[in-house]
Amino acid sequence: MYHLLFVILLLFSFLEFFGKNNKVIANSLFIILVIFVTLRYGQGSDYFNYIYLFNHSANNFENALLNNDFRIITQEMSFTALSYIWLKILHFTPESLTAILSFFSFLLVWLFIKKYSLKPITSLLFFYCTFYLIYPYSAIRQSICISIFVFYLIPLLQNRKYLKYYLLSILLFTIHYSSIILFVIPIVNKIKNYNVSQVYIISGIAFIIGLLFYQFLFHFFSAIDVIAGKISSYTGEAKLDITSLILRIIMFVPILHTSKIFERNSMRDLFLKIYIFGFILYLLFMSSSLISSRINVYMRYFEMILLVDFLVYFFFKKWNRILSYSFIITIMTVLYIKNINSFIDQGTYYSEVNFINYPYVSVFNKKKIIETRNIPSYYQQYVIYD
């Protein structure tokens, strides 16, 4: 089913890119994708972990209220409070909360694409290959934070409405600690002029620092009490993902050259400055693929807009457009395959499950999840069989 969606998106992206935009088809594709992500069951590496977290956080918040001691709360406060309200007051299921958060996070992404992309279906295809199966599917707390950032906070940043920007950033920080990066992103507004050569030089320096001094950087952030536990878990899995690094560089270079066409201090220029800032942070923390991706993804969402700009503005001759489009699609296909294989590995699927037959499991065929995936014993109590 996932591969069918990929083929459909690719087909309509091709027709859009070499023809005309079609709002009806674009909206229809969004509806299909949002139904898929909302009705899924047991899929996404952290699906059952979130079911556990919702229950655990709701119980913790309830105990904190009874004992008037909020020090026992270990998760982010707004996330914990939301879990308590949804499960204990409204008496809804944790599965429905997962569905609601996934729905709204993807809805905001689609509204962002519709508002800013020159080719919405193509941007949707890029999102599907790169982020769809990771964030709305699995990392749903961070997903909702990123979606709110790109759709609501970016206009505030562009218009220098910093009070509202930081107030919303504080709220997002209490949902997922990775949102701490939002407090430093406004620094890009201080950059008035830059050129490609300067960015290459700074990126090279960041690359060297990332190779030589990553332990020092981790130690620095570990000193911050609020996020120390998170950083500790990330450094425990520190490793350099060469394939991801190469793919990121291949994507970054063409996007960087769009700086020649954007008016300085425009919305597109803001997208690009944030994307460049994110790439530099990625290089600084690249020795830990987990921490680099957690921090960088807030800024990487602009990739699906900027890549389309690159394809549209830089190639006018027919064969140049075909070759450039084919090259980007090849990269997206590699990312799509890489993501599916990662889910199979991280989700502890049985050996007979592979990229070709990776199944879609929904709330209508829940039993299929235990037939294809080994659910750890400590999550077994959260599995619904009917």
pLDDT tens column, 49-88: 899 999 999 999 988 888 888 788 888 899 999 999 999 9
The confidence score (pLDDT) of residue 221 equals: 57
- Using the structure block, give the residue that is written with the tokens 């990312």: 335
Task: For residue range 188-204, list pLDDT tens digits in order.
Answer: 999 888 888 999 999 99
The confidence score (pLDDT) of residue 286 equals: 79
pLDDT > 70 fraction of the chain, expressed in percent and rounded: 91
Q: CA-to-CA distance for 132 and 111, rounded, in angstroms? A: 15
- The residue-averaged pLDDT of 292-311 equals 89
Cα 350 versus chain centre, distance: 26
3-state secondary structure of 311: helix
* Whether pLDDT at 296 is above 90: no
Q: CA-to-CA distance for 338 and 316, rounded, in angstroms? A: 31
The confidence score (pLDDT) of residue 268 equals: 92
Task: For residue range 119-171, list pLDDT tens digits in order.
Answer: 999 999 999 999 998 889 888 999 999 999 999 999 999 999 999 999 999 99
CB burial string 176-202: b at 16+ within 10 A, e below: bbbbbbbeebbebeeeeeeeeeebeeb
pLDDT band at residue 377, thresholds of 50, 70 and 90? confident
The confidence score (pLDDT) of residue 380 equals: 74
Weakest-pLDDT range from 107-116, 262-271, 307-316, 371-380: 371-380
Cα 132 versus chain centre, distance: 8
The confidence score (pLDDT) of residue 347 equals: 75
Cα 39 versus chain centre, distance: 19
Residue 255 CA: distances (Å) to CA of 128, 261, 279, 322: 19, 11, 11, 18
The confidence score (pLDDT) of residue 209 equals: 86
Residue 218 CB contacts under 8 Å (≥ 6 apart), including other chains: 231, 234, 235, 238, 288, 291
Torsion sign (Cα): 198, 199, 203, 209: positive
Q: What rounded mean pLDDT belongs to the chain? A: 87
| CB distance 144 to 174 below 8 Å | no
For 224, which DSSP code? S
Residues paired with 373 in a beta bridge: 349
Model pTM greater than 0.85? yes
| CB distance 51 to 94 below 8 Å | yes
- Using the structure block, give the residue that is written with the tokens 């190639």: 315
